[in-house]
Every structure is written in structure tokens, then in C-alpha cells.
Amino acid sequence: MSKSSIYKDVQKLNLVTPDYKKWPIYNIFENRDDFVQEVAWQAIDEIFKRNSIADIKEQLASAYYLEKIRIKTDPYKVDLDDENEFWKSVKIRMTDLMVGNVENEKNEIKTVVEDIVKRYAEEITGDFKISTYRFAQGMVPVILRRVLNSARAKYIKKFYSNKYLLSDKIHYTGHIDLIRQLATKATIIFVPTHFSNLDNILIGWAIESIGIPPVIYGAGLNLFNSRILGYYMSRLGAYKLDRRKKNDIYLETLKTYSRISIEKGCHYLFYPGGTRSRSGMLESRFKLGLLGTAVDAQFENCKKNETDYKKVILVPTVINYHFVLEAKQLIEQHLKSEGKEKYFLNNEADIKGASTVLNLMWKFFSTESESAISFGQPMDIFGNKVNALGESHDKQARVIDISNYFRKDNELVEDDQRNSVYTKMLSDQLLKEYRKSSVVFTSHIVAYTVYELIKKMHPKLDLYNLLRLPSDDRIIAKDTFIKNLENAIQFLKSKADEGSILLDPKLHNSTEDIIEHALSNLGIYHKERVVYQTKQGDFTSENMNLLYYYHNRLYGFGIQYHIS
Amino acid sequence: MASESNTTYHKPQVAVLGAGTFGTAIANLISENESVYLYSRNEDSVEKINSTGYNHGQKMSSKVIATSDLEMVIENSAVLLPMIPSSNCRAFFKEIAPFLKPNHTIIHGTKGFDISKANADEDDNELLLDKKLVNTISQVIHEETIVLKIGVIAGPNLSKEIADGQPAATVIASEFDAVINEGMRLLKSQRFQVFKSYDVVGVETAGSLKNIMAIGSGILYGLDYGDNARAMLISRGLNEIIRLGTKLGGDAKTYLGVAGVGDLVATCSSKLSRNFTIGYWLAKGKPLQDILNEMTEVAEGIKTVMIAMALANNYNIKMPITSRIFEVLFHNLPVEKGIAELMEYRNLLDVDFIN
């Protein structure tokens, strides 16, 4: 690797806390039942604290209604057998309440809520097992290496390339040492970008690689329909998120689970964007529900120990790919939802069955393509930088006591509205950090430049007409392309110098090498070539949607001003 | 807590920073609810306030404590209300940043933008300003300090009328309920009504952009035009303010409220305002530089016209009134000609900023 490499070797990193008996995640699940009870009771408390009895009655009615529809229209294999009976009994009890058949109304409402919350808490809670973790820790690298070598053998022509290491495949950059130091003192929450279903595997692997003890993470309940997958995920720290359940009581239970896990010090992983980026752009907005539980957990931690509270630290993490296997489906969904009537769906599947994780994995490892995982600046929940001791710093490098953000007249004051504004501010800080921690790959800038040049050739066309351009009208002359690519790279280098983006070391190669590398990596697994060179040496694309998708990765950095 | 802070002799826990006419009026308003520091960096004026009991012709309440000890003031006050010109803002917040703590609340009353990063040159009419380079003051506070609880006040608040004890109203905007409540508690009195808003950028931009129209109103007055002309300026000016303000992130509704129309009408009607005075003398044929030389306090409108014009060019927003005022200010366009040009516009839709 060249001298200018931003990547770090993580091969020799040990676990920061070798003794698993000190891991909060281990301790919680040693007494899983107690944990479930604690979550349930705190969730019930929250519900009754935040809502009037009339509101709760309303929530119960709407929960019943929504659950009934869910059971009918969208059953899962993993759903409990007695779903129907349970909700029927809720209905009967509700009816009694409505007609005034109950002596102590408040009490009865409380027991109904209790029954529902306990049921939800039980479902949500995972079941971390150290033995399964150890097993996976030993097996996964072996499996990955096997996949890597056997899958790649077919494609690699060079004779000597028999031994591939994962480190050739996945690069690491960013504040790894700081994160490791913080992980022994604070609760770390990794909040990665989300482009592909492959993210789960890569980020899980990356966290293990830099020596952080296992994290808890939310996994869609639908994944638990597969019993084997469900078994392993659950025992590796997953908790279950059911996207079908949208009633307030469920959401409160889920949030309570998240908050208490953080309070107890479990390192944590969740995607603040909620779902995969459809457009291929870096996230521009977060879903604030889970992020809010980080703020609430910090407040609770301050309450528990006003002078020596445990910090909650966010680590914005960016996963960078040369290609995203689901790109075609994602961008079509994006265009369809944004463009409405303007977009005509071209009904043609890209990769068959690309949705299964195993399939994605195979395809990912079977190509030469690399990825980079970039751990951004760790910050407290107010967006302040933290040092290795876990202390928060202001811009003048003064150590600050963040519990003061929760104080009025020196007292810690509960204030949901305030915390929700803090959550929004935190999300703004994380989004900024995503941009700084982005790693530009050769393929990103090549796709970006080609698309922008095509767009500049047709200034009057809107996006949807641009994407439908006939192939003859989207050819960029070689000289024009090279000149603009060089300008764009020059600009990116200046951005990298100010620290507002990261560059893959290959971008320091000659323009020729950059182009060659990009063309052999950009969206390599799609049926159509995202960018290719014509016989005359000019540049064009076989699929404008995909070109647009890959171009979007560098959207919003101001590069367009350097392309003319 | 409440009982303590209500006693007259208790040390103030709130401070107005900047003892200009507006800062002085605000400090007196707060003093009706509790004791308050009034900070001025100028030791002589502190001295003067404390010895004479007057500042800028306003009688000071005994519950206003004037001081030039910035560090002490910030240390003791949970709520800070900086009332300073926009051009000093960034430097000022940099200066006080080391004294600020996370539990401070800052409610500012500056009516202008910050462009300190853009190195804007007043002679440079080609200036290309992006939203990223133009900051509202709340954004500056956020960038320069650790304080998160930030708010702004703006409204038809002509200092002299407030000082005379006439009824008036203002808007306090913040994302935080806690900040809004704190601001209301401090400012609200029998003669001063306080409305609330969550649209910080909207209130800030409304308060800043209205100064452009104040210059325009002064010009009309200088030309001896009457109420029809002024009403036209106010309503069409509002149109321009909304178009630019919403582009900067404000909510169109905000501009129809007390901090928008309210402040605009007051500023355009009052002969007291500095921006109005500039317009008036321009119409009388006095060169801009001479007018500015005679003023003791900053007229925010001049800088705001320049910034608004650059932004309008950059975003391709039509702002005919603003652009004529810009030409009058910086390119010696005769005022009559500017007005004639405006009257020649064709095919204008009356209201296009609300659907």
C-alpha cells in the first residue's frame, strides 16, 4: 500500500475487554428473565407517565385494531400461535371497560397494558450466548476466507493469487484507537450508513476486528422466520424489531428496550437512516426514534450518578463500496417514489435472488472489489468531541460536563421536548460527520464525472428525461472526460487536505490507472456496464439509472462546480 | 428558586449584553420582572449609566446593574441576551465562548446576517453568496460556542416607544420550549406581549430583511410620497422578503406574524429608525458616505441589502425593490429613476408566496 494510505492494519488488535464476564451484554443475558421484566415494567411506567388514562384507552383500541389487521393480512412463521386468542381476550376486556363493567377502571387498564407490554418485551428481547459468539468468532473468518478464495479463484487469472486475506478485501480507517480506548469506559453506539444488505455482515465483522466486544443490534423480525438464522442472530446479540407493529405501546416497549440496553452499557449498533439508501446518496435525514433513546439513556445515566456518569458515545461509521448489488432495485424504488407519474418502470430484474444475504456475500467475495469501513469522529450525544478518557471537549478544548445540558438551576430536569431537540441536533452532527468520513473510491468519481458531463450536455432535460436519453446522446469524448476527471480529483484532493473527505490511496495514482481501476470495479456485477469505454475511447454508460445511482454517492460535495 | 430570584437585592441571573438603545430598552423591560445585568464593553458608558441613571435618553430601572465585567456577568447569569450589531457577532461569541457552559441559554436580538467567513467586500457587487456562507446569528452561536439552548427575539420593537412605556409585542423563537418559556418569563409584562415560535431562522430572517424596506420607506418619505406608496412598498416588500426568507429555511407563515409583517410595518412607518433615516437623506440627495459618517450606531440595512442582493442573484430570485435600493445605495442610481423602473414592471401576480 502506498505511503499516502489512509488505511490501518487491524490484524493484531485484541479484544479491549478480554474477560467476557465484564461485558454488560453477557451479564444481562445471564439473567434474561429479569431483564425482560425490567424492560416491561419501565415501559409500562413510561406509558402511564406520558399519557392520560383516556389516551391510553385510545392507544389500546388502536393497538387492538392494528394488531387484528396484521394477524389477518401479514402473518409470519415466527409469530406466536396464540396471537389470535390473546388479542381476542384483549378485546373482551376492552369491551368490559367501555361499557363500565369494571370496578376499578384504572387498575384494569393497567393490567391489560401490562399483559401486552410483557408479551412484546419477551418477543423483542434477544438471547446472547457467549458460546455461540465464540463459535462464530472462530468460524466466520474461516468461512469467509474459504468463500473468498474459492469464489475468487475462478476470476483471478494470475497464478500466484492463491491466498487472499480478508484484509485485502475490507479496509479500515478512522478513529480506531480512540474507539478502542473509549469502549472500556463508555457505551459505544455505532451508527453506520446503510447502502446494502451486506452492511450487516461487514460492520459486524469490522466491529469484531477492531476488538470491540459484541454489540446488540436490531434485526427485522422477518429474518427470524428462518429458524437457523434466527437462532444465531439472537444468540449473537440481536433483538427483534417488528416493522409491522406500529402501535404506540409496541414502540414504547421497543424504545425502552433500546434505552435500558444502553444504560446498562451494552455497545450497540443501529442504522439511524432506518432503511437502505434508495438513491445511493449518503443519508440526509435520520429516523429519530432509536437515536432519541441514546439521549434518554445519557440523561438516565447522569441521574444515576451525577458526578461520575457513564458516557454514551456515538460513532458515525461509513461503509464504502465500489458497487452495491441491490443498486438496480434500490434506484428504481427511489425513482418511482420520487418521480411518480414521470417514471416508467423498466421491468427487468438485475441479479436474480440478489436479496438473500448469502447470495450477496458470495457475489461480494467473488469479485476483486474492495470495501472500506470508516470509523468517524466519536462524539457525545451533544455532538462534542471526546478524548481517550471519555471527556467531552468544546471548541477551545475545554473539558465540559455535559450533564449541565440537562440542568436548570443546577438540578437535572426531565424535559422530553428538550431531549427531542437534542436528538435532532445530534443527528445533524452525525450527518456532517458521515461526509467527512466518506472514502472516495476511483469508481465513485468516475461515475460522478460521467453523469455530470452527460447532464451538462443536456441542460434543459429534467432528471427523468435525462435517464431516458438514447444511447447515442450520452457519449462523452475521451479528452473532455479526462480533463474533467482530473479537475474533479484535484478538487477532492483539496477537500481531503482540509479534512472534509477521505480519499482511497488509488486516487493518488495516474489518471490512466484511476480510470482503469474504476472501470474494472464500478458496479461490476450488474448485467449492464455502468461506465465503459467505446471502441473510439470515449466514455458512456449502458444503464443511466445505475450511473445516476453511483453518481449520487458523491452528491452534495460541490464537485459539480469543477466539471464543465 | 422563584422566590429567590424575585427579591430585588438578589444578584441577577440574567444579563443583557450590549448597551445600545435596544439592549438598554430590553434590560429595562426585564427589570420589571427581575434584576438584570447590562453589560457594556465601554467602561465610560457603564460609569455614566451608574452615575446618571440614564442611557441613550432612557431612564434606567434600579434593578438594572450596568457593568463591564464580562466574565463575571456570564459566570452569574444562566440566561444571556446579546443585543449587538451583526458585524460584531462572530468575534463577540468567539470572545465569550471560553466562559460559556452547557447550561447557558442565549437569546439574541441581532437583526442582520453574518458573512464573516465569506470575506465579503462591500465594493464587490459580483459577490456570490451561498446559503452556506451566509449565517444567521443563531447559527454563529451554534458554531462558535457549546451553547445549544438558543433563541431569538424580533418584532416591532422601536426602542424609544418601549422606553416610553407604550404597549408593544415581540416574538421569541427557539426550538426549545424551555428557552421560549424562559424568554417569556423574563420579557412579558403588562405593556409587553410575547408571542412564541419554533421557526428560529424565519424570525431571524424576517427581522433582518425588513431593514431593506425601511431604507425604501425612508426614500419614499424623502420624496414626499404618501401612504399609498408606502403601503405598496410594504406589501410588495413582504413578497420579496418571503421569497428569499423561505429559501434560507424560514417558514412562509412566520413572515405574516408579529416578527414579519408586524416589524415591517413598524419599521417602514417610523421616522425613528436608522435605516429609515438613511433612505430619507438619500432621497434628499445626500451621499451615502456622508450619511453614515453622521450616524452613531450601525444601520444594519446597508449590509443586509448587499447580502440579500447577492443571495437573490445566486438563487435566481426576483427582488425588484431590493435590487433598486441596492443600485441607489451603491451605484448612484437616482431614486426617481429607480421608482420609475419599478412602476414599469408588467404582469405581476399579486400573491405568489402562499398556495
Q: Which is higher by pLDDT, A554 or B87?
A: A554
B355 within some domain: no
Mean pLDDT of B245-259: 95
The answer to whether B172 touches B183, Cβ cutoff 8 Å, is yes
Distance CA B300, CA B160 (A): 18
The residues, ordered by sequence, that sit 6+ positions from B283 with a Cβ below 8 Å of its Cβ are B218, B219, B220, B221, B222, B223, B335
CATH code of B116's domain:
3.40.50.720
B102 touches A: beta carbon within 8 Å: yes
Inspect the interface and report whether the beta carbons of A382 and B148 lie closer than 8 Å: yes
Q: Please list every residue in chain A whose beta carbon sits closer than 8 Å to the beta carbon of residue B78.
A: 408-409
Residue from A418, A495, A498 whose CB has the most chain B CBs within 10 Å, to mutate: A418
**Does the beta-carbon distance from B102 to A409 stay under 8 Å?**
no
Where in chain A do CATH 3.40.1130 domains reside?
Answer: 128-436
Tell me how many degrees the CA angle A156-A158-A160 measures, rounded to the nearest 5.
110
B36 phi/psi in degrees, rounded to 5: -145, 145
Range name among A59-73, A318-332, B75-89 with the lowest pLDDT average: A318-332
What's the order of all strands across the beta sheet hosting B36-39? Answer: B64-67, B36-39, B14-17, B79-82, B105-108, B149-154, B168-174, B192-197
Question: Of B138, B31, B151, B17, which Cα lies nearest the Cα of B77?
Answer: B17
Per-residue pLDDT band at B1 (split at 50, 70, 90):
very low
The residue from B201, B227, B255 where one domain ends is: B201
Measured between beta carbons, the chain B residues lying within 8 angstroms of A402 are 102
- Chain A CB within 8 Å of residue B185 CB: no
- Assess whether pLDDT exceeds 50 at residue A157: no
Neighbour-count burial for A244-276, b at 16+ CB within 10 Å, e otherwise: bbebbbbebbbbbbbbbbbbbbbbbbbbbbeeb
Looking at residue A11, its pLDDT comes to 77
Q: What integer pLDDT is reported at residue B100 of this predicted model?
A: 95
Mean of per-residue pLDDT scores for chain B: 90
**SS3 assignment, position A354:** coil
> What's the pLDDT at A368?
63
Q: Angle at the Cα of A164 (from A156 to A177), degrees rounded to 5?
A: 140
Of B1, B103, B144, the CB nearest to A407: B103
Query: Are B232 and B151 found together in one domain?
Result: no
B350 within a domain of the structure (yes/no): no
Contacts of A422 in chain B (CB under 8 A): 148
Return the residue of A nearest to B130 by Cα.
Answer: A558
Q: Are residues B125 and B226 in the same domain?
A: no
Q: What is the mean pLDDT of residues B156-160?
A: 89
Cα gap B275→B300, rounded to integer Å: 7
- What's the distance, CA A311 to chain centroid? 22
CB contact under 8 Å between B178 and A415, yes or no, is: yes
Helix, strand or coil for residue A34? Answer: helix
Mutual orientation of helices B300-315 and B274-283 as an angle, nearest 10°? 80
Residues 6 or more apart in contact with residue A527 via CB below 8 angstroms: A350, A351
Which of A50-59, A131-140, A401-410, A496-505 shows the lowest per-residue confidence on average (mean pLDDT)?
A131-140
Cβ of B102 and A417 within 8 Å? no
Total domains in chain B come to 2
Helix (H) or strand (E) holding A172: strand A170-174
- Choose among A334, A303, A509, A277: nearest CA to A414: A303
Contact between A400 and B178 using a beta-carbon 8 Å cutoff: no
User: How do residues A265-305 score in pLDDT, each as one tens digit?
Assistant: 999 999 999 889 999 999 988 999 999 999 999 999 999 99
Query: Chain A to chain B, count of Cβ pairs less than 8 Å apart?
Result: 46
Region of poorest pLDDT, from A41-50, A293-302, A378-387, B308-317: B308-317
Residues of A in contact with B101 (CB under 8 A): 400, 404
- Size of chain B, expressed as the number of residues it contains: 355
- Give dist(CA A321, CA A318) in Å, integer: 10
Q: Where are the strands (E) in A426-560, listed by range?
A: 439-440, 502-503, 532-533, 539-540
User: H/E element holding A302?
Assistant: helix A288-304
- Which grid coordinates are listed for A106? 384504572
- Per-residue pLDDT band for B9 (boundaries 50, 70, 90) equals low
In a domain, B354, yes or no: no
Asked whether residue B129 falls in the same domain as residue B235, the answer is no
pLDDT at A9: 85
DSSP class of A308: S
CA distance B107 to B179: 8
- Angstroms from B171 CA to nearest CA on chain A: 20
Q: Which residues contact A341 (CB under 8 A, 6 or more apart)?
A: none
Residue B39's identity, in one-letter code, is Y
Among B210, B271, B284, B337, the active-site one is B210
- Residues B228 and B148 reside in one and the same domain: no
Residue B35 lies in a domain: yes
Regarding whether B104 and B40 lie in a shared domain, the answer is yes
Distances (CA, A) of B217 to A102, A285, B30, B168, B275: 70, 42, 31, 21, 9
Strand partners, A241: A220
Nearest residue to A314 (alpha-carbon basis) of A432, A226, A445, A395? A432
- What is the rounded average pLDDT for all residues in chain A? 89
C-beta of residue A486 within 8 angstroms of C-beta of residue A512:
no
Which residues in chain B have their CB less than 8 angstroms from residue A400's CB? 101-102, 146
- For residues B31 and B257, give the distance between their C-alpha atoms in angstroms, rounded to a whole number: 26
Chain A contact set for B148 (CB, 8 A): 382, 405, 421-422, 425
Partner-chain contact B102 A400, CB within 8 Å: yes
Name every chain B residue with its beta carbon within 8 A of the beta carbon of A384.
146
Domain edge (last residue) among B173, B201, B229: B201
pLDDT above 70 (res A349): no
Q: What number is the average pLDDT over the span B169-193?
A: 96
In a domain, B133, yes or no: yes
- B97 near A CB under 8 A: yes
For chain B, the three-class secondary structure string (H helix, E strand, C coil) is CHHHHHCCCCCCCEEEECCCHHHHHHHHHHHCCCCEEEECCCHHHHHHHHHHCEECCEECCCCEEEECCHHHHHHHCCEEEECCCHHHHHHHHHHHHHHCCCCCEEEECCCCCECCCCCCCCCCCCCCCCCCCCECHHHHHHHHCCCCEEEEEECCCCHHHHHCCCCEEEEEEECCHHHHHHHHHHHCECCEEEEEECCHHHHHHHHHHHHHHHHHHHHHHHCCCCHHHHHHHHHHHHHHHHHHHHHCCCCHHHHHCHHHHHHHHHHHHCCCCHHHHHHHHHHCCCCHHHHHHCCCCCCHHHHHHHHHHHHHHHHCCCCHHHHHHHHHHHHCCCHHHHHHHHHCCCCCCCCCCCC
- Range of lowest pLDDT (A78-92, A144-158, A247-261, A480-494): A144-158
Domain extent, residue B86, equals 2-201
ipTM of the complex: 0.87
For residue range A94-116, list pLDDT tens digits in order.
888 888 777 888 899 999 999 99
For a pLDDT cut of 70, what percent of chain B falls above it? Answer: 92
Query: According to the 3-state scheme, what is the secondary structure of A510-528?
Result: CHHHHHHHHHCCCCCCCCC
A148, pLDDT greater than 80: no
Question: B348 in a domain, yes or no?
Answer: no
> Per the CB < 8 Å rule, is B103 touching A394?
no
- Find, among A393, A388, A432, the residue nearest to A175 by Cα: A388
Block residue for cell numbers 427582488: B319
d(CA B151, nearest CA chain A) in Å: 13
Q: Show residues of chain A in contact with B145, CB under 8 Å.
A: 394-395
List C-alpha distances in Å: B208 to B171, B245, B275: 14, 10, 11
Pairing state between β B54-55 and B79-82: unpaired
Query: Amino acid identity of A487?
Result: N
C-beta of residue A562 within 8 angstroms of C-beta of residue A488? yes
A245 pLDDT exceeds 80?
Answer: yes
A479 burial type by CB count under 10 A (0-12 exposed, 13-18 middle, 19+ buried): exposed
Architecture in CATH for domain A128-436 = 3-Layer(aba) Sandwich (3.40)
* DSSP run (H or E) holding A455: helix A442-457
CA distance A141 to A147: 10
CATH of the domain at B237: 1.10.1040.10
Residue of A nearest to B175 (CA): A421
Q: Which residues of A touch B (CB under 8 A)?
A: 382, 384, 394-396, 398, 400-402, 404-405, 407-409, 415, 417-418, 421-422, 424-425
Pair (B254, B151) in one structural domain: no
Rounded Cα–Cα distance for residues B15 and B42 (Å): 16
Average pLDDT over residues A474-492: 96
- Residue B349 falls within a domain, yes or no? no
* Cα–Cα distance for residue pair A158/A149, rounded to 1 Å: 13
A188: part of which helix (H) or strand (E)? Answer: strand A187-192
Q: Could you say which of B159, B180, B201 is where a domain stops?
A: B201
B11 touches chain A (CB under 8 A): no
Answer yes or no: do B167 and B25 share one domain: yes
Q: Name which of A471, A458, A465 is nearest A343 in CA terms.
A: A465
Beta bridge partners of A373: A172, A319
Residues of chain A contacting residue B93, judged by C-beta atoms under 8 Å apart: none
> Full-prediction pTM beyond 0.80?
yes
| Percentage of chain A modeled with pLDDT above 70 | 90
Task: Find the length of chain A.
Answer: 564
Q: What is the average per-residue pLDDT within B200-216? A: 96
Q: Is B59 a catalytic residue?
A: no
Region B126-148: mean pLDDT is: 81
Cβ contact A22:A210 at 8 Å? no
With an 8 Å Cβ cutoff, is B226 touching chain A? Answer: no
Cβ-based burial of A387 (10 A; exposed 0-12, middle 13-18, buried ≥19):
middle
- The residues near A172 (Cβ < 8 Å, ≥ 6 apart) are A7, A8, A10, A206, A209, A210, A372, A373, A374, A375
Is B343 at the interface with chain A, CB within 8 A?
no
Q: What mean pLDDT is predicted for residues B34-61?
A: 94
User: A421-451 pLDDT, tens per residue?
Assistant: 999 999 999 999 999 999 999 999 999 999 9
Q: Say yes or no: B190 and B214 in one domain.
A: no
Cβ distance of B97 and A409 shorter than 8 Å? no
Q: Domain check: are B138 and B285 in the same one?
A: no
CB contact under 8 A, B176 and A421: yes
pLDDT at A153: 53
pLDDT tens per residue across span A164-208: 666 777 899 999 999 999 999 999 999 999 998 888 888 988 999
Mean pLDDT, residues A139-146: 73
Estimate the crossing angle of helix A130-153 against helix A199-209, to 10 degrees.
110
* Average of per-residue pLDDT across A399-408: 94
Amino acid found at B345: Y
Question: Given a cut of 90, is residue A319 above it in pLDDT?
Answer: yes
What gap in Å lies between CA A263 and CA A24, rounded to an integer?
A: 10
From B260's Cα to the closest Cα of chain A, the distance in A is 25
SS3 A502: strand
- Mapping DSSP to helix (H, G, I), strand (E, B) and coil, where does residue A392 land? strand
pLDDT value at A355 more than 60: no
Confidence (pLDDT) at A541: 95
Residue B170 belongs to a domain: yes
Q: What is the pLDDT of residue B255?
A: 97
pLDDT reported for residue A354: 43
Interface contact A404-B78, CB threshold 8 A: no
Q: Which residue of A has its CA nearest to B179?
A: A418
